[in-house]
């Protein structure tokens, strides 16, 4: 069975600046892929290449069809990071905006009753039904983003491509948003490719991670991601923030249920940071020691995320504290690194 997105040797550069180099991967039907990486790492450019919004080198197939010949765009829903009209008054209603998500046979054809039914189904899904007759540009940015999600969903897509969609949403809308995505993926088998920095929130739903930093650093399931040395080396560059995030919270921020909750990325990040800080390890080690004590509180159950529901047993914790201090490069499955591009 062909993959939903098959990319081979993707490269892209703006004038002389290399943005992406030789990226290959295959996203299969039903995958929920979290696309992460540093700012300027090429995540949005990768999505644009997949959608044909930018032209680069390499080959892309969508649903087994070469991108240039692909016609069934209704199979793909896309939601960008920013609303297209945040300030300007654009005279279209929410209903009309969602209608834009449907592909018509003819450009001048008026929408049918069936089209409108689909529009209202999508609006109900994103809890924006009561906004249907409002002018889109009069809505708040968070409301606009939910309406744009409805536009992405109206054609019942088999693939959703989302570029940091929750950035402007409040906490309640964000929870609703990620729950909806999780439901679409798990109940309806919709494949999702999502750029996010909010790995803690969305981690409980994601099945695979793709880490991009100009090249494909990692692509594979989240368990392997947490133990990947290559990822950890990259995360080292964000050391302080990452370590705070990892260890002060007392659980894996990716929401994964990896056995090495505190020994995976956090551990390697610490080492990456040590390298980045020229071997000055004392503060980092101090921070790395902190979670051991805090974990017990976290396991007691207070405010743990869904991902943390299966909190590791004390015995497991101990066993994973040890490797946390002694990294082992062999603990990464070679098939899940970027080299082959496939898991």
Partner 1 sequence: MIGEFLSYGFVQRGLLAGSLVAVVCALLGVFLVLKRLSLIGDGLSHVCLTGVALGLLTQTSPVYMSIPVVLAASLGVLKIMEKVKIYGDAAIGIVSAAGLALGILITALAGGFNADLFGFLFGSILTVDKTEVFLCAALLCALLLFLLFFYRDLVAASFDEAFACTRGISVKRLNAALIVFTSVAVVLAFKVVGIFLISALIILPPVSALLLSRTFKQVLWLSCGLALASVWSGVYLSFVFNIPSGATIILINLLFLAGAFVCSRLGRGYTKKGKKYAD
- What CA–CA distance (Å, rounded) separates 210 from 193? 9
> According to the binding rule CB under 8 A, does residue 55 interact with partner 1?
no
> According to the binding rule CB under 8 A, does residue 141 interact with partner 1?
no
> According to the binding rule CB under 8 A, does residue 189 interact with partner 1?
no
3-state secondary structure of 164: coil
> Phi/psi zone of residue 301: left (φ > 0), alpha (ψ -120 to 50 degrees), beta?
left
> Is the separation of the CB atoms in 126 and 149 below 8 Å?
yes
> According to the binding rule CB under 8 A, does residue 167 interact with partner 1?
no
3-state secondary structure of 328: coil
Instruction: Give how many residues touch partner 1 by CB under 8 A.
Output: 31
> According to the binding rule CB under 8 A, does residue 85 interact with partner 1?
yes
Q: Which residue has the tokens 């898991």?
A: 343
Which of 88, 286, 303, 310 touches partner 1 by CB under 8 A? 88
Question: Closest distance between partner 1 and the C-beta of residue 263, in Å?
Answer: 41
- What CA–CA distance (Å, rounded) separates 194 from 192? 6
> According to the binding rule CB under 8 A, does residue 135 interact with partner 1?
yes
Which of 68, 71, 114, 293 touches partner 1 by CB under 8 A? 71
3-state secondary structure of 158: coil
178: tokens are: 């990620």
Question: Closest distance between partner 1 and the C-beta of residue 83, in Å?
Answer: 9
> According to the binding rule CB under 8 A, does residue 115 interact with partner 1?
no
> According to the binding rule CB under 8 A, does residue 310 interact with partner 1?
no
- What CA–CA distance (Å, rounded) separates 155 from 134? 21
First to last CA, the chain: 16
- What CA–CA distance (Å, rounded) separates 166 from 175? 9
> According to the binding rule CB under 8 A, does residue 90 interact with partner 1?
yes
CB of 108 or CB of 187, closer to partner 1: 108
> According to the binding rule CB under 8 A, does residue 325 interact with partner 1?
no
Which of 43, 61, 146, 151 touches partner 1 by CB under 8 A? 151
The footprint of partner 1 (CB under 8 A) covers 14-15, 48, 51-53, 71, 73-74, 76, 78, 80, 84-85, 88-93, 96-97, 100-101, 103-104, 107-109, 135, 151
């Amino acid at each position: 069975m062909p993959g939903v997105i098959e990319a081979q040797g993707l490269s892209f550069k703006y004038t002389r600046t290399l943005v992406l180099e030789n990226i290959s991967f295959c996203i299969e039907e039903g995958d929920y892929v979290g696309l992460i990486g540093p700012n300027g790492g090429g995540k949005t450019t990768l999505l644009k290449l997949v959608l044909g919004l930018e032209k680069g080198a390499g080959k892309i197939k969508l649903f087994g069809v070469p991108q240039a010949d692909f016609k069934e765009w209704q199979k793909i829903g896309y939601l960008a990071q920013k609303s297209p009209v945040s300030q300007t008054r654009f005279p279209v209603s929410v209903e009309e905006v969602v209608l834009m998500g449907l592909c018509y046979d003819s450009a001048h054809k008026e929408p049918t009753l069936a089209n409108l039914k689909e529009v209202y189904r999508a609006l109900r899904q994103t809890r924006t039904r009561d906004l249907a007759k409002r002018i889109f540009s009069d809505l708040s940015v968070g409301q606009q983003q939910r309406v744009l999600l409805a536009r992405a969903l109206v054609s019942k897509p088999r693939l959703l491509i989302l570029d940091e969609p929750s950035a402007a949403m409040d906490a309640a809308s964000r929870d609703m948003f990620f729950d909806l995505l999780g439901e679409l993926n798990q109940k309806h088998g919709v494949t999702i490719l999502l750029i996010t920095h909010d790995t803690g929130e969305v981690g409980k739903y994601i099945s695979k991670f793709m880490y991009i930093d100009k090249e494909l650093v990692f692509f594979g399931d989240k368990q392997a991601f947490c133990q990947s040395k290559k990822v950890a080396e990259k995360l080292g560059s964000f050391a302080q923030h990452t370590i705070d995030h990892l260890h002060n919270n007392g659980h894996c921020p990716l929401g994964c249920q990896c056995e090495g909750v505190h020994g995976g990325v956090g551990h390697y990040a610490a080492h990456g940071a040590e390298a980045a800080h020229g071997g000055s390890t004392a503060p980092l080690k101090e921070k790395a020691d902190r979670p051991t004590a805090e974990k017990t509180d976290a396991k007691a159950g207070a405010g743990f995320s869904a991902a943390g529901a299966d909190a590791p047993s004390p015995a497991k914790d101990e066993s994973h504290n040890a490797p946390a201090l002694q990294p082992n490069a062999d603990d990464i499955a070679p098939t899940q690194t970027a080299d082959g591009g496939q898991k």
